[in-house]
Each structure stands twice: as C-alpha cells, then as structure tokens.
Structure 1
Amino acid sequence: MSIGNSPEDERPLHDVSEEARPSVGRTLQQARIAAGLTVDDVSSATRVRIAIVHAIEADDFDPCGGDVYARGHLRTLAKAVHLDPEPLLAQFDDDHGGRPAPTPAAPLFEAERIRPERRGPNWTAAMVAAIVAVIGFVGFTAVKGAGSGNDDKSQVAEGATPTASKSASPAPQKDKPATPKSDPSDSAIAAAPQDKVTVQVSAPDGRSWISAKDHNGRMLFDGLLKKGESKTFQDSSKINLILGDAGAIQLYVNGKKIEDDFRPGAVERLTYTKGDPEVG
C-alpha cells in the first residue's frame, strides 16, 4: 500500500476564471435583459437589424460582414444597454485573433441588403427620369418664349432683321433668358411638380449602396451608386431610402439640400414626403 497523492489529486488545475467569464454575446444579452429592453427596442435605438442583434447575442458574427463591422455593432449595442464597450471589444479581439485591419466597404453593402432583387431593366426609374427631363424642358421653353415675346430687342439678338428705330440696338442682349445650368438633375429638381416628392441622391466623394422604394413598397432602385453618379426618384407621396454609407451621400429633396451630418460608414433609413424635407 503506497502512501501519496491519489490520481485525482494529480490532475492539472484549470483556469476557471476564463471558463466562468461569459461570452461577448451572452454579456450583451444579460445587460439588455437587466435594462428591461427587448431586441426590438435595441434594434430601433441603434438601427442595427433585429436578425443581427439576435446573431451577436448568440456569438454569431458572420452576418456583420467582417470583424471591423462586428466591432462597430458591439460598440453601438454596448452603449444601448449601458455597458462600457471597451472590455467587450478587448474580449472580442482576444477571441478572434486580435484587432482586425480595416476591410473594404463592399461587405457592408452586401450585409445590409434587405433581400436580393432579380436584376433586369429598371423601367420605373427610366420612366421617372424621362418625365422629369420633359418637365424641365417644358419649363425652360416656356420661360424662353415669354422672354422673347416681351421685347423686340431680343429678336435682334437672336438674328432677326433689325429696324431703323433705336430699339434695334444689339446692346440689350442682357434681356435674353439665362442659360440653364449644365447639370440637368438640378434643373429637373427645381422644376419638379409641387404635388409630388422628388429626391436626388448623389455620391460626389465616394460610393454607397442605396435602396429606394415608392409609397407602395415597389423597388425603384437597389444597387451601388459609384463616385460621381447620381439618381433621381419621384413619387406621388413618399420615397423610402436606405443608404449603405450615408457619409458618402448628398441629398436634395424637393429642390432643397439636406444638411444632416451623416457619419461615414453609417447605415441610414430615411423617408421623405411632399413639402419641406423631413427625415422619416
């Protein structure tokens, strides 16, 4: 009979501190429940989709579109449930191999798509653009015709045979109607009907995925707006927008520039109606 430690006493000790520490998702879930908030409440407050909130609380970060965006969602959700985000971010980095390098913005656009749309000719957008262009041309033609009919001097400036009177002097060319701006989208917005809502979305300095629907929920556009491109949408009562990178977008609603200070990389869901532009 030997005297000494039993086999059970020789088993290696485990670091129970790491095992006892809850996961990142579990910590967020417990804090949300302690704050008396539902997943819908957190989603509405942060604009993070309900499916992504559920996935993060289950420690599934794939729907976030990459570690960079996962860290951004963790910071936003932690603040919403009254937690310090830094310990959670440090724990997330430890679990995922350290702080990630920045990733291209393209995964965000794919992650934020509501549902895939069958690609095909966008006849609705083409029809709206044609109507807006016709309205702008008719408005310009009416102004030009009114200006030329008010004074015979403009006829001399346009090449008609001058008369012997002093009024035939070519000097009053200043009475000619001003040449319209070179940007057709700006003039089209200025001539938009007052009984409709007209929204112009442009990406002057970057690119962004955008989605636009009319008041019936019909898709007007769903795709990537490249740098320098712009789109114009019109509806009888309401335009619903989703901007994948709101910081890269410039908006004009019913001829007025929207001065909202959107953050780069932020996803914005907006609704605009007739009258003064208001964010929905």
Structure 2
Amino acid sequence: MSIGNTPSADRPSVGRALAQARTEAGLTVDEVSTTTRVRVPILQSIEQDDFSRCGGDVYARGHIRAIARAVGVDPEPLIEQYAADHDTDSAPPPVAPLYEAERIKSEPRRPNWTAAMIAAIVAVIGFVGYTVVSGSAGDSGKTSAQSSPSASASTTTSPSPSSPQGNGAPTAQPTDTGSAIAAAPPGKVTVKVTAESGASWIQATDGNGKQLFQASLKEGQSKTWTDDKKIKLIVGNAGAVQLFVNGKDLGPAGGKGQVVRLTYTPGDPTQG
C-alpha cells in the first residue's frame, strides 16, 4: 500500500489532521491507543500518512474512524479524503466495529425462588395477623359503642378556628428538590457525566489512583462513579459533556473541543 498523495497547501493530509486533533485534545499517543485498541506503531505510522501497516483499505478506514472519534473529530470527511488520495471506493462494505471500546453486557438475572417463597410466607403470616387484629378491634369497638352511646355522640370535635384546616387553607405538601441525580451518601462523592451534545473521551480515576473508566462516550450516554475520597476526570470535547456532582447540575464541563482536568471531593459541588 502506498503512503499517500502529497496534501494540498490548504488541506492537511489525513494523518496530519488526526495528529493535530489529538494534540489539540491534549491526548498522548498511548492514551489514544488504549481507547481505540490501535497499536502505538500503527497509530504513529498513520499520523505520518503511512497506511502500509494497516493490512488493507478496510482496516485503514476502521483505524481512521476509531482514532477520529477518540480525538473528537468527524471521521467521515477524513475517510472520504483517504479514499480520494488512494483511489479507492469511498463506500466499502460495512464491517464490524472492531476498534470501539467493548461494551460490558450484563448476564440475564436468574429468578430467586427462595426469596420468592420467603416473601409469600411472610405475606400469608401478615394477612393472618391482620385478620386477627382487625377482628379483635371490631369486637372491642362494638362493645364500647353499646355500653356508652351518649359518649360516642359527644366526642365529635370540630376543627380549631386557628388551624389551617379550620380556615379552609390547603395542607402544605413536601417539595421535590428536582436534583438531576441523588446526592452522594455522607462522606462520599458522586459524579455523573452525560454526553449531551456530542461524543467525548472520558478518563475517570478514584482517590487511590485506580482507573474507573477510559473510553469515548457517544451522544446520549452517561456514566456515574462514587468514591470515599475523590473522583478525578480528564474530559475531551468538554463542551459536549454535562456534569452532575453530589446531586447538583454544574452545567458543561468546559468549552467545545476543550480538554479539561477536574477533581471532586465529598461535599464539594464546585469544579476542582
């Protein structure tokens, strides 16, 4: 496979455009390699417009698409430019997305028959107890009513004029806080990120430096993490990401295309 045609003066080559976008996003070659699963030598060759290591046009397009999404740019113009530079069909047969981050599929939960039987037994016992108590209360109520009919008639009270019910005012109802997410438990910090207006590359680590997440979020996807000490974030294309910390909406994480580094601790709703 050829390295590629020389780009025109007003249009960077595919590899140069990807390298420039990665630099502007504040990402290293190793970080992009981890996200896309494209090996570092291949990624470096692509940034130099050498696609001979890709193993063919189909794989080259797959690498370009994965790298472009990781650095926050639209892959389609770059794939069209690659096809034009290498005289290949710009609409190849669809292939499986081999280079996207793996999605963890949860296994179907099996029914817990033991818990169901225990719940049924508790329900039966509760029903029997309720029936016995209700019958006893009904008998005692009949005896009291027969022994003192005048007393029951005289114990009816009217609402106090000073009470809100006496004045016809409505009873106050509890208000809903309207928080976007539940507040963190005492002594913990909870952070939620939502890709609301575009894709974004996210890296999250906990207070011990353990990596909790490192991948690209597509538009509409969300992730939430909780820790005792702190949550540290690196957010690419920060303007597309909405932040919620300890139940409070902090708005966008930054500007469009900006890469930001943030730290949050328990009881700290402001950006660190």
TM-score by length of 1: 0.42
Rg larger in structure: 2
Higher helix share: 1
1 or 2 for the larger relative contact order (CA 8 Å, sep ≥6)? 2
Q: TM-score by structure 2 length?
A: 0.42
